[in-house]
Amino acid sequence: MNIDFLPYFLVAFLVIAWGSAFGLTSMALEGFSPVETSFGRTALAAIVVTGVAIISGQGVPNTILEWRWLSLLGIFGLAAPVTLLSWAQLSIPSSVASIFISSVPLFILLATRIILREPVSRRKWIGFAIGFAGLAWLSGPAAINQIGTAGQSLAQLACILVAVGYASGGIIIKVMPSIPSLRATAGTMISGAVFLLPFGYSAFETALGAPMFPLIALVVLGILPSGIGQNIRYVVIKRRGPVFMSVVGFLIPVWAGFVGFFILDEPLTWHTVSAYSIILIGLLISRDRVKRA
């Protein structure tokens, strides 16, 4: 029985890259506005990935059909969610935002069943629900109590739209025609950058006087989580589907805890250990059973 291990390694890379994006975004926001940050990272990713796509021979999208699909993905599955999340985090704590964003796997399960009409096992529903409960517990009772707080309704609604946008992006990749990965990522980033240009063009002027560390953070965001990360996301979804890809949302907090304990010397409490345990139990339950020949 041959097992395709490549998607597992790619998911592990995404957990590290996207898990690091939260800290990089916070650093970038010290010198740029939320929309400037979103536009800057998307535009940088577009430049880098387009160059690599051209050098590799894949080039950029060259048909109306390809541009139609990739524009849909770039706007609704990338640019809009990233911008909304940055804006929302100005008003609500990251712990509250994380509860909403961690619902992405559940939205993907729902879309897989209703839109793609693919069967979803009871194990997946139960496992993902347990994983979501673990993430909510990790955020803490204080964060849960803030959900629905007056004055934060718009920001919390934005987080829900972010989760729907990320889930929609996974479904779009699944149903769209097969396009070489670098070409697809280049078209997605170009579309996202063009969409954000009228709102974030001031990032060019801001960059001239921005402090060094926010500028470096923005460049790293553009190359690693946005450029390389989105290309890997496309590959994984095409190989294994959006449900498999969605487990990244559950594993990112576990990676953050690993970094905090082993690198940043942060304390590891029983609360966090119990939350990580619940998350991992949920993922173990959600695994598809291996079919034996």
Q: Which two tokens stand for residue 165?
A: 């946008």
Tokens of 85: 């999340």
Q: What are phi and psi of 5, to 5 degrees?
A: -85, -15
The pLDDT of residue 24 is 84
Question: Who's near 124: CB < 8 A, 6+ residues apart?
Answer: 109, 243, 286, 288
Please give the chain's pLDDT, 293 residues, in tens: 566 788 899 999 998 888 778 778 878 888 999 899 999 999 999 999 999 999 999 999 999 999 999 999 999 999 999 899 888 877 777 666 767 777 888 899 999 988 888 888 888 999 999 988 888 787 666 555 666 565 577 888 888 899 899 999 999 999 999 999 999 999 999 999 999 999 999 998 999 898 999 999 999 999 999 999 999 999 999 999 999 998 888 887 777 777 667 765 667 778 778 888 888 898 888 876 544 44
Find, among 202, 234, 253, the residue nearest to 78 by Cα: 234
Do the beta carbons of residue 99 and residue 139 sit within 8 Å? yes
Report DSSP state, residue 32.
S
pLDDT at 291: 47
pLDDT at 117: 86
Tokens of 42: 């998307």
Name the phi and psi angles at 91, rounded to 5.
-110, -25
CA angle 35, 220, 166 (to 5 degrees): 55
> What's the length of the chain?
293
pLDDT for res 121: 87
Q: Which long-range contacts (C-beta less than 8 Å, at least 24 apart) are formed by 106-109? A: 106/132, 107/163, 107/164, 107/166, 107/167, 108/167, 108/170, 108/171, 108/242, 108/243, 108/246, 109/243, 109/246
Q: What is the pTM of this model?
A: 0.85
Residue owning tokens 């009409």: 117
